[in-house]
Structures are given as structure tokens and as C-alpha cells.
Amino acid sequence: MLNYNQGLQFALEQDKRDELATYRNQFHIPKNQDGHDLIYMTGNSLGLQPKNTKAYVNQELDDWAKLGVEGHTQAKNPWLHYHEFLTNNMAKIVGAKPEEVIIMNTLTVNLHLMMVSFYKPTKQRYKILIEADAFPSDKFAVESQLRHHGFNDKEGLILWHSRPNEELLHFDDLKTILKNQGHEIALILLGGVNYYTGQYLNLKRITKLGHQYHCKVGFDCAHGAGNVALNLHDSGADFAVWCSYKYLNSGPGSLAGCFVHERHAHNKTLNRFTGWWSHNKESRFNMRDAFDLLPGAEGWQLSNPPILSMAAIRASLDLFSEVGFDKLLNKSKALTGYFEYLINQIKNDNIKIITPKNPEKRGCQLSIQVKNADKTLHDKLTNLGVISDWREPDVIRCAPVPLYNSFEDVYRLVEKLKKSLSE
């Protein structure tokens, strides 16, 4: 653990010692009108573009131009198997076996596909448990699944609330819910890292509890993938989904990831929607053969993937592989710890950090709650060159991302925050 100090000199010294500092130069950093770097702290919403992305995408554009349809087999990176180029690196980042991971579709589409297989309601056991402050799309998705199966979307939804006057969730409260209603719950679906508070839940502990009550357990890891050590295989979760445009820097609206635990790899009795890309690769183009399901997460694919989007993901994943995820996690804890330290030195009763203090229970995001907020403080920060993230009703989210943010970024952000508070 670093012994943090105030003052710019400390931040500059840490940046000089940082073995990952040069990776900042491999990203496009947004600039103000004077050409100076903005302080970009919203990797939790949209990660910055790696400079190598253009070359990766251009390679596929060039092969498309030169080869046309033959690019499926003759491109430098043959399109027919392009998704396989991403699997190993992505599996390492989310802590899974390669056969448990697939890049396909977008986040909520994958969530629905997973619920087709793992939400199997009966008249007695049909309810879905989510956190009360889940990301809206998750709530909308599970409500629509309840309605699709003929259930009332209010009666069928169980919410895990934080305690009065608190923001963070308590595991004991989840235990109480399961004790009282576990026999009615078919699916537990939680955000691995909560988008609002930044709380990183104990996936393994939750999965074990859910399985004790014969519930299926899945996680939305949109704010966890590339940010924390998810260890999805060891968690025992039935499934997980995540996007790739936040910490994984793949570009706005890019493809998403999906994890299906290996114990389901060869279960052909699971209900699922299928398409020709979930069919056996060896006979896929025979066209008239009967459906032959692929094992593993690949068996949830539907269609051939968009190569240009996958090229952008590959560009970022190659950077992750080069750096090593453990090194990124270590820097992340140091950066966020420094950020927390500086915030705590501000003597102002109008702000507080609601993200867990324990580094093992959070990623790089800190959520700063603003008393009597009306977004004014966030707007002041924006005018001072800080790109942060406002979430109603009263939180500014900032994420010092280890691949491209620096200790100096953190220092200057806090200085601008102090200036905004004093005005």
C-alpha cells in the first residue's frame, strides 16, 4: 500500500515510477479548445479509443476491398473464425475458461438469450430477484421476461434494497430474502459491480447462497469486465453478461460478452434460441443438415458476427494482454486509493464517497454524493475541463482507469473539485 501525500509533486513522482505510464500514449485523449488534454474520468461509461484501433479496423476494410467474400477464409484474419481470436484474452480478463466465453450481440440481447435458457419459471417458482437500484435496462429486461411468461411484472419482481439512509447492499439482507422467499425465486440476476455506487458484490458467495435455494444465478458485469477480477468460473455462476465499450475500450455500442459455466457446456436439453452460428462448425455450410449444437458458450451464438466491431475489440484486448490484467488491477487500486485519500482531505460536509472503502469491494470508480445536489457542481467541473459522469439524483461518478489515467489526472481533478466547491 502506498503512503499517500498531498501536493502535485507526489503525483508526479508516482507517475515517474509507474511502469504502465507509457500506455497513456497509446490512447487518444480528448482535448479542450486550446489543445490541452481534458481530465477524462468516464471510462465507466465509455472507454477511450486505443490508437491501434484504426489499424485493426483498416486491416479488415482493406481485406474486404481486396477479397470480397473470400475474406471469410483468405483475409489476414479470416472472418469465419474471427470471434475465436478474442476468446482467450477475454477469458483471462473475466476469469473464465475459453470454452465458457463468447463475444456476440449486445448486452441486453445477451441477457435475454441467457434468460431464455436459465429462467425456467413454474407456477410456484417464477420470481426474479434483482437489486433495487439495478441498471434500468436490467430491470426492463426482467420485467418483460415476466410478462412474456404470463406473470405480473410487479408481483414477480423481488428487490434487494439497501438499508434506510444507506446506499450499499448488505449480504445478510439477501440471506433474509432467500430464507423467506427462496422457494418462489427462479432466478437471481444482479449487477456484479453496481453502476451507481461502484459496489463490487461477492459473486461466489451470492451464487453459493442462490444455489442452496435451487435458484439459477446470473450477473450483469458491464461495470466489472476489465475493471475488477471477476473470476467468473470460480464464482460458480450459471451465466454472466457484459458490454465491451466501458473499461474494455471497444467503441460506442460495440459487441458484448457472455459467460456460460462449463457445467452447462454439453447440456443440449437447455431451452435456447438458436441460429446457424450455434450449429457445428464442420457442417455449418452444408446447409441442409439437421441442427447440431455446438458445445460451450459458442452454442448460444445466432449469427455471423460484425467483423469491424470485433476488430476494435481485438485491438483493445491485445493491449490488455500485453500489459497483464494483474498489473492493471494493482495500478487501479493505487490510483483509486490516491483519489479517495485526496477526496477525504477536503473538509466539506456537502460531499461524501458512497463507494465501499475496502479496495476488494470496488473497482476504480468512486461515486461522490453531493448534498442537496442539482447537477450544478458537475457542470462546474465540466467547464473546468473534467469529463465526469452525473447520475440522478445526487452522484458524480469518476473512474481513474489504469490504462490511460495518471496520478496527475487524479490530483488535478481534485483541485478542480475543490475550486468548484469553493465558488
Residues of the chain with CATH 3.40.640.10: 82-321
**Element at 396 (helix H, strand E):** strand 395-398
Quote the distance between the C-alpha of residue 211 and its chain's center.
24
pLDDT tens per residue, range 31-53: 999 999 999 999 999 999 999 99
Coil/strand/helix, residue 132: coil
Q: Rounded to whole angstroms, how far apart are CA atoms 185 and 121?
A: 9
Sequence-distant contacts of 285-288: CB under 8 A, at least 24 apart: none
What does the pLDDT read at residue 375? Answer: 87
pLDDT in tens, 193-222: 999 999 999 999 999 999 999 999 999 999
Contact 269, 117 (CB under 8 A): no
Instruction: Return the CATH class of domain 82-321.
Output: alpha beta
* Distance, C-alpha 317 to centroid of its chain: 14
Write the pLDDT tens digit of every residue in 246-300.
Answer: 999 999 999 999 999 999 999 999 999 999 899 988 888 888 888 889 999 999 9
Q: Which fold has domain 8-51+325-422?
A: Aspartate Aminotransferase, domain 1 (3.90.1150)
CA distance 69 to 391: 45
Residue 3 reports pLDDT greater than 90 = no
Report residue 68 as a C-alpha cell. Answer: 470480397
- Every domain range in the chain assigned CATH 3.90.1150.10: 8-51+325-422
Assign 1 a pLDDT band (cuts: 50, 70, 90). Answer: low
Identity of the residue numbered 408: E
Is residue 415 over pLDDT 90? yes
